Amino acid sequence: MTNAIDKTATNGYTNGVKASPPATTNGATTTTHASNGTTTTTKETTNNTNNTTAAPLPPATSPSLHLTHPTPSERRNTWLKSSTDWGAALPTPVYIERESHLCSASALADAGGITHWILVDRSLPADARPVLATAESLRKRTLVATPEGVVREGVSHGIGSVFCYPEYRGHGYASRMMTELGEVLKGWQAEESRDQKEVVFSKLYSDIGRGFYGRHGWMPFPSGHVEFPAAGGEEVGESGKVGGVKRLLTGDLGELCEADEGMLRALMERPRGDGKTRVAIPPDAEHFAWHRAREEFVTQALFGRVPEVRGALVGEVGSRVWAVWTRGFYGKKTETKKNTLYILRLVVEEEMKGGKVDEEVLARKLGDVVGVARGEAREWGCGRVEVWNPSAGVGGALEKVGGTRVEREKEGIASVMWYGKEGEEVEWLANEKYAWC
C-alpha cells in the first residue's frame, strides 16, 4: 500500500494535504475606514445570480430538467447561497475560499475525486439558468466481502452538500435531483476503481432525519455515538500528564492506517454463517488527509495556527488502542456548544483480531485516550467529543469512563443505496466518522 501521508509529492501535497492559499475575498471587495480612532470594515460581495429571468419555474416532473455539472460561476454562487446554512464559523468570503480550496486540497478530492452536480433546465444556457438543486459526490475506495469471506475492491460514492436555493424550495426539485443522482452514480467513475469496475453503493449522512432520503432509496444504518464533554479547567493539566499515552502527529498516521486496513481486511475474510455481505470504507491515509485539509483551513482562519496532535495511542503492539480525530466547527470559535472534536477512527487491536478483551483494561486504555481528546477539545474551542458507532463492548467501556450514549434521530444519519443484488443483506463495518461524506 502506498503511504501518501508520509510523502511530499510533486503535485503540491505535503502529508496528503495541499497547503491552504492565503485567504482572499474571492470576488468580494473589502474596504476599511478609519475615523476617530475607530476602524470599521465594509464588505461588498458580488452576487452572481446567473442573471436569470423571472420566467415561470418548470415542474419537478418536467422532461426538460436534467442533472449536469455547474460552471465555476454557478458553483461559486451555490457556495455563496449555502454559506448562510453551513458557513457560520467563517466570514462568507472565507467560507467560499474554503469550499474552493477543498476541491483540490487532498488526494481524495483532487483529480476528479469530487464531482459537483446541479439540476437545471437543459434548454437554458449555462450561467443564465436557475440552479434548482445542487449536490456533491466524493469517490471512495471500498471493500466488499461475501458471506464466505471473499474480499474484493470496488468504488462507492459519498453524497454531500445537498442544497436547494431558498427561492426554489418547496417545488420538489431536491427529490427530482436525488432520484436522478442515485441512478447516475451506479456507474459513475467505475473505471477509476483499483480492482473490479464496480460501483458498490452510494451513501450520505442525512441531517433531516430518516424519511426523505429513505423514500428515495437510501436506507438508514445505525447512527449513534458516545459523547464526552470537553475537559474542565481542573482536568486540562491532568489530561496532559497521562502516562504511557502517545500523542499522534501527522507523521505517525501512515503506519497505523496500513495496520488498520490489514486488520479490517482480515476481519472481512473470516467466513460468516449469517449470509450477510459486509462492506467497509478503508480507513486509509487519504481519508484522514481529506478531513485534515478542512480542519487546517478552518483553524488557521479562526486561530491563526493549525493543530499538531491528531490522535492518541496507548499500549504495546498487539494490544494497542488508538484514536485519530478532527475538530469540526459549526459555530463561531466562542460558540463551543456548536463545535465538536470527532473521533474519526477508534481502533482496539485485540477486538479487531478477534481476541478476548479484558473489560477493565480496555476501559482504562480508552479513558487515557479519551482524556487526551477531551483536553484537545477544550484547547480548540470544542464543547464535546464524539465517538461514532463503537461496538457494543467498546461502547460499554466508554460509558464506564464517563461517556453518554446518544442515538441520533435527525442529524448525521448514515444511509446507503445498495447497487448489488436486490434483497441482499448488508453489514457496514467501521461505520465511523472518518467515512463521513
Q: What is the CATH number of the domain that holds 381?
A: 3.40.630
30 occurs within a structural domain: no
Q: Is the pLDDT of residue 37 over 50?
A: no
CATH no. for residue 84? 3.40.630.30
State residue 59 phi and psi, 5-degree precision. Answer: -70, 155
Q: Is the pLDDT of residue 435 over 60?
A: yes
Number of domains making up the chain = 2
- Tell me the average pLDDT across 343-363: 96
Please, which residues have CB within 8 angstroms of residue 110's CB and are 6 or more apart in sequence?
A: 11, 18, 103, 104
Measure Cα distances from 339 to 30, 101, 193, 226 in Å: 28, 21, 35, 16
27 occurs within a structural domain: no
pLDDT for residue 112: 86
pLDDT category at 419 given cuts 50, 70, 90 is very high
User: pLDDT for 109-150, tens place per residue?
Assistant: 998 899 999 999 999 999 999 999 999 999 999 999 999 999
Q: Identify the bridge partners of residue 225 per DSSP, sorted by sequence position.
A: 388, 406
22 occurs within a structural domain: no
Residues 143, 246 within the same domain: no
End-to-end CA distance of the chain: 23
Residues 85, 194 within the same domain: yes
pLDDT category at 207 given cuts 50, 70, 90 is very high
Q: Which residue has the higher pLDDT, 49 or 18?
A: 18
Residues 396, 419 within the same domain: no
Residues 77, 193 within the same domain: yes
Residues 196, 64 within the same domain: yes
**Half-sphere CA count of 22, side-chain side, radius 13 A:** 1
50 occurs within a structural domain: no
- Tell me the average pLDDT across 64-74: 99
Residues 291, 178 within the same domain: no
Q: Is the pLDDT of residue 432 over 80?
A: yes
pLDDT for residue 19: 59
3 occurs within a structural domain: no
Residues 274, 305 within the same domain: yes
Residues 129, 159 within the same domain: yes
Residues 394, 359 within the same domain: yes
pLDDT for residue 144: 97
378 occurs within a structural domain: yes
Q: Which residue has the higher pLDDT, 244 or 210?
A: 210
**Of the given ranges (56-65, 98-107, 183-192), which has the lowest mean pLDDT?**
183-192
Kindly give the interhelix angle for 253-269 and 285-303, rounded to the nearest 10 degrees. 140
Residues 211, 296 within the same domain: no
pLDDT for residue 16: 57
21 occurs within a structural domain: no
Q: Which residue has the higher pLDDT, 315 or 50?
A: 315
Cell 455539472 sits at which residue?
A: 69
**Half-sphere CA count of 64, side-chain side, radius 13 A:** 11
pLDDT for residue 46: 36
Helices (H), 4-114: 72-86, 92-102
How many residues are there in the chain? Answer: 437
17 occurs within a structural domain: no
The whole model's pTM is what? Answer: 0.87
* Domain region containing 436: 60-221+409-437
Q: What is the CA radius of gyration of the chain?
A: 23
Residues 400, 423 within the same domain: no
Query: Which residue, among 430, 435, 421, has the nearest Cα to 147 in the 3D structure?
Result: 421
Residues 215, 245 within the same domain: no
pLDDT for residue 407: 98
